[in-house]
Amino acid sequence: MYKRLSAVMFPLCALLFAGAVFWGYQEHQEKNAVLIKAENQYQRAFHDLTNHMGSLQEQLGKTLAVNSASYRMQRKGLVNVWRLTSQAQNEVNQLPLALLPFNQAENFLARISDFAYRTSVRDLTKEPLSEKETQTMQSLYAKAADINKELGKVQDAVLSDHLRWMDVEVAIASADQTADNSIIDGFKTVDKKVSAYPENDWGPSSASQHIQRARANVSGPRITAEEARRNALDFLGISAQAAGRQIHIAENGAKTDHPTYTATVSADKGASKSEKSRIVMDFTAKGGKLLWYMNPRVVKSRSLSVGAAKEKAIAFLKDKGYPSMTPVTYDEYDHVAVFTFVAEQNGVLIYPDKVTVRIALDNGEAVGLQAADHVYREAGIAVGQATVDEAKAKSALHPKLEVSGHRLAVIENDEDKEVLCHEYTGKINGSQYRIFVNAGTGIEEKVEQIPDSARAIL
């Protein structure tokens, strides 16, 4: 009996063993293929990065070498700087550097990209490069040379020592932070050098300066944590004790130029388990202005139409102190309607001054408000007068555009400057568009496609 059993089981076990070995071999080969592919992609991204950084330095040098009156060549050089910087940013994002302190270098590239783009899109014949902007470019050229020198050392080590990027990924993920790796050490050196550079004067096109100026618009005395707590309760229209809720206040950025308070309100004790959620709000420490509000409850059904939800949003804004706002866009996610409203002054829409409202489509409750753009613009925006009339501005449009609406609006152009425009709504090639024509020059400033979902509120 045992002989017959072994005669059957032995070949069966041998077959299973052979199958397991073959399966393991296949899995090993597939794993190696994936690792090789990932390694090749990392190597390509790194060597492309070093190549584009070298080209970036070269292009900055060429732009500085042309005559200051050669506006066409300056614009061409700045566009190439923007293109190369964008490519370098893309390649950095493809490398396994998420856990490395490389944010200074990434921020440096982002600032170069922003500077080059916003400088190149303006009319250099009317607003040529200033002396400070030229000095900034000279500084960028010197810094790019320094960065390229360090990247060259890393590249030499990669090529000569056959270093693998997969080892970098393992080293980053490892808890052993003392592990020696030439690639990691090289990128840390680059980031350290960038952080040691003195800050550039990025000129009027700098996004960070634009944000700082906007934040300076916030008025009012500095509030305390207790005042932030009262502001949160007033906004919700509740009593913490009566509702059986607790509220926690945390101060953010106490030593920065823009401190804020975060108010976290616990769920109502009477709410069901599925409805319980913590409400979160942010207030500016200066003036106690609400930046955003979020009630992340789950909305399981829809019973309101778009029109009814819009009326709920308008009523909510009026109740919370945002009376003169006009809806301009609409979208919908998970039974929640999302409306963007912009301010209106004497019939002129002010697009930089906007708020976003989220309305639950089950009962019309406002479950979100994003008001940072409104808070930072509360000092007011000068509308000015249109020197180009509607008929002349309309002549700048495509002759086949079927115009369905017109109004005046203030927008931010590509240079982050607020300009008064004629806003035309129309249809062409089967799609709806908003086209903004500068009311001072008669030139098209911006074109926006209107999503199908937004047509319901226009």
Burial of 300 (0-12, 13-18, 19+ CB in 10 A): exposed
The per-residue pLDDT for range 18-56, each reduced to its tens digit, is 666 666 656 656 666 667 777 788 788 888 888 888 888
C-alpha distances in Å from residue 243, one per residue of 91, 267, 278, 280, 296: 52, 9, 13, 16, 18
Burial of 230 (0-12, 13-18, 19+ CB in 10 A): middle
pLDDT at 15 over 90: no
Which residues have C-beta within 8 Å of that of residue 372, sequence separation ≥ 6? 291, 292
What is the three-class DSSP state of 67? Answer: coil
Which residues have C-beta within 8 Å of that of residue 201, sequence separation ≥ 6? 132, 135, 136
Residue entry with tokens 């409850």? 297
pLDDT at 441 over 50: yes
Which residues have C-beta within 8 Å of that of residue 65, sequence separation ≥ 6? none
Most confidently modeled range among 165-174, 177-186, 214-223, 303-312:
303-312
CATH of the structural domain 390-457, one choice from 3.30.70, 2.60.120, 3.10.450, 1.10.3210:
3.10.450
pLDDT at 267 over 80: no
- Identify whether the C-beta of residue 348 lies closer than 8 Å to the C-beta of residue 408: yes
pLDDT at 289 over 70: yes
pLDDT at 181 over 60: yes
What is the mean pLDDT of the segment spanning 319-325? 88
The per-residue pLDDT for range 355-383, each reduced to its tens digit, is 999 999 999 999 999 998 888 875 567 77
pTM of the model: 0.66
The DSSP 8-state label assigned to residue 347 in this structure reads T
Q: Where in the chain is the domain with CATH 3.10.450?
A: 390-457
